[in-house]
Amino acid sequence: MKSRWIPGNQATLLENGEGYFPAVFDAIRNARHEVLLETFILFEDKVGLELQAALLQAARQGAQVDVLVDGFGSADLSPAFLDPLLAAGVHVRSFDPSVRVLGLRLNVLRRMHRKLVVVDGTRAFVGGINFSADHLADFGPQAKQDFALEVRGPVVAEIRRFLLAAIGADGERHVHLPATAAPQAVAGTAQAMFLRRDNHEHRNDIERHYRAAIRGARQRVLIANAYFFPGYRLLKDLRRAARRGVDVRLILQGEPDVPIAKTAASLLYAHLQRDGVKIYEYCERPMHGKVALVDDDWATVGSSNLDPLSLSLNLEANLVLRDREFNATLRARLEHLMAGACKEVTACGEQPSRWWPQLQAFFVFHFLRHFPRWAAWLPQHRPTLGRPVAAAAVLSEPAREGRRAG
């Protein structure tokens, strides 16, 4: 399925679990025909239990409900959680499930990292928010800052077709959808393009559209991304944009949930700052967002980080929009974060006597330059779809921590 611009859509920005969960749960609870849901992480906490209740209500109202979770990110769903769903007719599958070897899970690479929901063919949700309580402010200092969007309009039909195939439900049944879900139904003025990254036909689609937008920027580039360690060419595009006078700003992690994320990104700071890129660290809580905007009408929200895992290994999905109103809304929220919860990282200038950081940077840049080619050498097995492994009902904190980077 080739990505294409589709006119006639309406997009609403949803910030954090407080904005996302009420909207998506309300949509699922009111489903009458179909619910399609993919997520990297689904935990059996208060958010997971509310999702379970919403899915059960939809199934009991006659909707066909299909759920796909990642075999690494959601490995420990218990029989107490799964059995009521299966008894109600919900189809629950796991992407690439595997058993533990010496207590460890080995299916860490090439994860299904997407977060997508489509309800009744009329509403779709795309973003970076998992179904877990750490996306709510009352979780505490480690609560994540993140974004998603709800979209209505013709692009929903394309997201639905993708999900039916990805979940493995397209050949199993045919759901009669209302006429309002037809591809020609117009909901707004936004042009939308649904992008995915896989290891076959769409290896670099998300990165390619980021780079094209940055190369065409004339006023501003504003990126908020949790795990920033992009490819060499994308870095070069950011530097060139800044050199020609574009206001290029990055919002990165200042209080990371995975400390190595900040360490890795910081190796790039001086390289970017020398050309005028401004870097802000979000310090209120972990930044988990994967959003960007360019000039006044281009924006993207999705699951893809700008790091080697997302750009070369994981299965990801982003929605790109051409819409001045949505762009302005996202820009206002990001500028609010910069003004109230970020610190700008000041440029350190040239320090030739500090040879060790320069040596580190040298290896980092060459690693980034060649990583996409090296990633192609990793095993490319065909992942399986099956029922999630029913293990312990309660995850240990170390097990949970390893998956919070999603």
Strands (E) located in 133-289: 147-152, 190-197, 220-225, 247-253, 278-282
pLDDT value, residue 389: 44
- Which helix (H) or strand (E) is 294 found in, with range? strand 290-294
pLDDT value, residue 223: 98
For residue 255, how far is the Cα from the chain centroid? 19
Tokens matching residue 197: 């990254």
pLDDT value, residue 63: 96
CA 122 – CA 116 distance, rounded (Å): 13
Tokens matching residue 292: 């960007």
Domain positions in the chain are 6-195+382-401, 205-368
pLDDT value, residue 85: 96
User: Residue 32 half-sphere exposure, CB side, CA atoms within 13 Å?
Assistant: 5
Strands (E) located in 23-115: 34-39, 64-70, 91-95
**Could you give the angle at the alpha carbon of 122 between the alpha carbons of 116 and 123, nearest 5°?**
40
Helices (DSSP H) in 252-396: which residue ranges?
259-266, 269-273, 308-312, 324-341, 355-375
User: Residue 345 half-sphere exposure, CB side, CA atoms within 13 Å?
Assistant: 27
DSSP string, 179-202: GGGSTT----SEEEEEEEE-SSS-
For residue 385, give the 3-state DSSP assignment.
Answer: strand
Instruction: Count the Cβ atoms, other than its own, within 10 Å of residue 219.
Output: 10
Q: What is the rounded radius of gyration, in angstroms, for the C-alpha atoms of the chain? A: 21
Are residues 229 and 268 in contact, defined by beta-carbon separation less than 8 angstroms?
yes
- Tokens 């997971």 label which residue? 48
Q: Please give the C-alpha separations between residue 61 and each of 56, 88, 324, in angstroms, as whole numbers.
A: 9, 10, 38
Q: What is the mean pLDDT of each run of 10 residues along the chain (406 residues)?
A: 91 98 98 96 97 98 95 89 95 77 60 96 97 97 96 96 87 67 79 94 95 98 95 94 98 88 86 95 96 98 93 93 98 97 80 59 62 57 55 32 53
Q: Quick check: do 6-195+382-401 and 205-368 share a fold?
A: yes
**Is the pTM for the entire model greater than 0.75?**
yes
For residue 330, give the 3-state DSSP assignment.
Answer: helix
pLDDT value, residue 232: 85
- Tokens 């080697």 label which residue? 308
Are residues 213 and 298 in contact, defined by beta-carbon separation less than 8 angstroms?
yes
Tokens matching residue 261: 């994320």
| Residues involved in catalysis | 113, 115, 120, 288, 290, 295
Which CATH superfamily does the domain covering 6-195+382-401 fall into?
A: Endonuclease Chain A (3.30.870.10)
CATH 3.30.870.10 fits 205-368, yes or no: yes
pLDDT value, residue 11: 98
pLDDT value, residue 395: 29
Are residues 359 and 341 in contact, defined by beta-carbon separation less than 8 angstroms?
no
pLDDT value, residue 132: 97
**Could you give the angle at the alpha carbon of 288 between the alpha carbons of 120 and 328, nearest 5°?**
70
